[in-house]
Structure 1
């Protein structure tokens, strides 16, 4: 594979797993492997401790919306971590891809975890509200218009929001390929992951792309957090 440019986001090449006609077995293996990939690169234990746990309440069940939940691995970990810390967390995972929801729903049931194949806009129309809202590796999939719509939806849904994604760089691209290629086979993890790096924002770009009230953080190398205090926490 040649060395691509990184001065601009790659906006025209779709990821293999987004193809409605992609091989379903390969797609499901990709969902299965997300748990290990996220454990290696996404840093959700740190994000939970610093950005979610401080706002959990012990006097009632806490609600969390996971947008673009994929196979549901992040949602499952958050419920376990919250329970370990003495909190009750109820999570709704949503994804526009019905294949993701079919996979997530076929896994071992977990108390407090539910999935729906809907968009955030539908939840806004339903008048739903959440204490917390998250997404993982979703922002780079969105056009500028879709990003704006998503952020407006999150504000309407009321919760403190944390969107976690990759930060684009040549080093992140090369490192992901070098580290992941020997271990992840028969899935879309490596080609889509390397493309995801090229599709992702740099911190300065994301700051320019979001409306007032949203904050861009770099918690550690090659990662970005886009956060909002939420209507109930502002």
Structure 2
């Protein structure tokens, strides 16, 4: 079988991680390994860099509320909390995930971070729609949704995010797919391998993001980042 594949169109195949009832050691092992892969490839830094750009020039004597959608075990928010502590920012950081076990694990790992809290919520729920925040983060999250769902979600987020959105998601490309197939030979967790390949096929090309930008009349910046990521900043 070839390691390359046609990526012309986004796939609608679901991922194993889309099962919000998943729990136990498999889930936690998957979250840990995904966190390590993203850290190793520099992916988490793409989100942090986006937060820095949104906050650039803003006063540090205010408290900024940041929500992380699909937060998993909270590694992104802990990274941002560390940055805030170093740079003197006041943050209120809220992790949102539909999987209760992921939220429980994130809470366990974040006991030293008083600025962090985690909530089990569906982002399309009334409770989440009523939440106010300054910045919304979506790291490897938007590709889980169909394009028509994305339009609704982006409008909803921008109606609440006072400063804007930081989106960090995968570049859908034959090269990314092929390289991940090679990388997967060294990954023992089969769920990560299967979901990783599916994620790439559900991800975005620049023209997809540009189309959404134009259709929704967004003020945005799109930058390609290693390893096969797009940093998409949308400002209010």
- What TM-score range do you get, normalising by the shorter chain? 0.7 to 0.9
Question: Match for residue 191 of structure 1?
Answer: 194
Equivalent position of 1:224 in the other structure: 230
Structure 1 residues 86, 152: CA separation in 2 closer, same or farther (over 3 Å shift)? same
2:67·2:133 contact (CA, 8 Å) conserved in 1? yes
Tell which deviates more after alignment, 22-31 or 139-148: 22-31
> How far, CA to CA, are the matches of 1:134 and 1:163 in structure 2?
6
SS of 2:95 mapped into structure 1? strand
Aligned equivalent of 2:19: 19
Q: Which TM-score applies when normalising by structure 1?
A: 0.86
How far apart, in 1, do the equivalents of 2:65 and 2:57 lie? 11
Q: How many residues align?
A: 227
Q: Structure 2: any 5+ residue segments left out of the alignment?
A: none
Distance 1:145 1:100, change over 3 A: farther
Which residues in structure 2 correspond to 1:101-120 (within 5 Å)? 101-109=103-111, 110-120=113-123
Q: Which residue of the partner structure matches residue 170 of structure 1?
A: 174
Is the Cα contact below 8 Å between 1:56 and 1:62 reproduced in 2? no
Give CA-to-partner distance per residue, 1:135-174, whole Å, 9 cap, x none: 1001110012321121012112123211110010111112
Q: 2-side partners of 1:112 and 1:22: how far apart? A: 27
Which stretch shows the higher mean deviation, 163-172 or 58-67? 58-67
Aligned residue for 1:89, secondary structure, equals strand
Is the partner of 2:53 in helix, strand or coil? helix
Please give the per-residue CA displacement for 1:19-56, whole angstroms capped at 9, x wherever unaligned.
Answer: 35657321221111222122133533354345244155
Does the residue aligned with 1:188 lie in a helix, a strand or coil?
helix
Higher relative contact order, chain-length normalized (CA < 8 Å, sep 6+)? 2
Q: TM-score, normalised by structure 2?
A: 0.85
**Greater strand share, 1 or 2?**
2
Distance 1:181 1:77, change over 3 A: farther
Partners of 2:198 and 2:217 in 1: CA distance: 29
> Is the 8 Å Cα contact of residues 70 and 98 (structure 2) preserved in structure 1?
yes
Aligned CA-pair RMSD? 2.3
In structure 1, the gaps of 5 or more residues are none
Question: Can you list the C-alpha shifts for 1:194-218, whole angstroms capped at 9, x where unaligned?
Answer: 2111110101022213411142512
Give the deviation of 1:86 after TM superposition: 1.6
Moved more, 48-57 or 202-211: 48-57
